[in-house]
Amino acid sequence: MRVLITGSAGFIGMHTAKQLLSANHSVIGIDNHNNYYDRMLKQHRVDEIKDTYDQYIHIKADIADYETIRIVFETHKPEYVIHLAAQAGVRYGSVNPQSYGRSNLDGFLNILEACRHYAIKHLIFASSSSVYGANEKLPYTETDSTDHPLSLYAATKKANEVMAHSYAAMYNLPTTGLRFFTVYGSWGRPDMAPMIFTKALSEGKEIRLFNYGNHSRSFTHVSDIVKAICGLLTTIPEKMSGWDAANPTPNASFAPYRVYNIGSSRTCTLREFVSALEDVMSTTAIIGEAERQSGDVLNTAADSSRLREVLGISTETSLKAGLRELVSWYDKYSKGAE
């Protein structure tokens, strides 16, 4: 298969590219290497792919530039697209809201347009558990309301789902949205709690626990995310027969469109996560506490039963095993960066 991955210098993008390349698929990666976090980490991810797979093609480009995207599709003729590029982060929306519109809305529209014009067999795109917003019914299921986002990031991810459905309906473009729940693992994003906590523990610095550490999350190891993405790539959605237009639900459609939760079935609080990390690193954290921040969802819990049924997945990485993988990588990477 020829697969185009946007955001291929990102955390999940890099792991997905490596998995597909290891299965002898052709992978073309696009990333703009923006400065939201350390560009060197992004370059190191790309180097990690290229050092192992000579056939990997990496293009430094911005998905908000349609002409560039059109040329990439025209030149490389991908059959499948995995769209992971986005302006990430919940709190950054109060600092630079325009970046979310450019990347998450304009950029995604460009990907949709290119997919329809170049007859892509299947578009998989990243959504987020943040779309559930103010909804406090747990665990989250795909039929739950996503109409009350708590951040601009969440609002753009909700918009992506609606945009994707419109293209599936208008142009018969098979699309699948994946609502990721707190992803962690090697090469992770330095702005996310798992990496922040790992770095602080390693350096003997204070860990700040917002909401006094009482937030709970479905921490999901990146290997489980990649397994689902790759498994779904050829699980192409079809038009549903028997769809009830009088009683529509968010997880079903007359169009070739699906949306799935993708997260661990186990949840833990931030405090419990730190405790597990302490055990793995054989050290004690210096804890500081703070109030809940604006835009933070209080609790998330994934019901990923639909995804497991579709893919036949029955196991997931345990928290301790996932943290051991993360810490092992971090020890090697941090030493190499010195």
Q: Which of these, 207, 198, 224, 226, lies nearest to 315 by C-alpha position?
A: 224
pLDDT digits (tens, 9 = 90+) for 279-332: 999 999 999 988 887 777 788 999 999 999 999 987 799 999 999 999 999 999
Residues 194, 297: Cα–Cα separation, whole Å: 17
- CA 93 to chain centroid: 17
Torsion 277-279-280-284 (CA) sign: positive
pLDDT digits (tens, 9 = 90+) for 3-16: 999 999 999 999 99
Residues 12, 19: Cα–Cα separation, whole Å: 11
pLDDT of residue 65: 96
Amino acid at position 52, single letter = T
Residues 338, 28: Cα–Cα separation, whole Å: 31
Residue 327: which H helix or E strand, with range?
helix 319-337
pLDDT digits (tens, 9 = 90+) for 225-264: 999 999 999 999 998 887 888 888 777 799 999 999 999 9
Residues 173, 169: Cα–Cα separation, whole Å: 7
What is the number of structural domains in the chain? 1
Mean pLDDT of the chain: 93
Residues 234, 293: Cα–Cα separation, whole Å: 40
Catalytic residues: 153
Q: Are strands 268-269 and 216-217 parallel, antiparallel or unpaired?
A: antiparallel
Does residue 181 carry a pLDDT above 80? yes
Please report where in the chains the tokens 């609002």 appear, as a residue.
155
Total Cβ atoms within 10 A of residue 237: 19
pLDDT of residue 94: 75
Q: Which domain holds residue 246?
A: 2-337
CATH of the domain at 46: 3.40.50.720
For 317: left if phi > 0, alpha if psi spans -120 to 50, otherwise beta; the answer is beta
- pTM (2 decimals)? 0.95
Residue 204 pLDDT level (bands cut at 50, 70, 90): very high
pLDDT of residue 36: 87
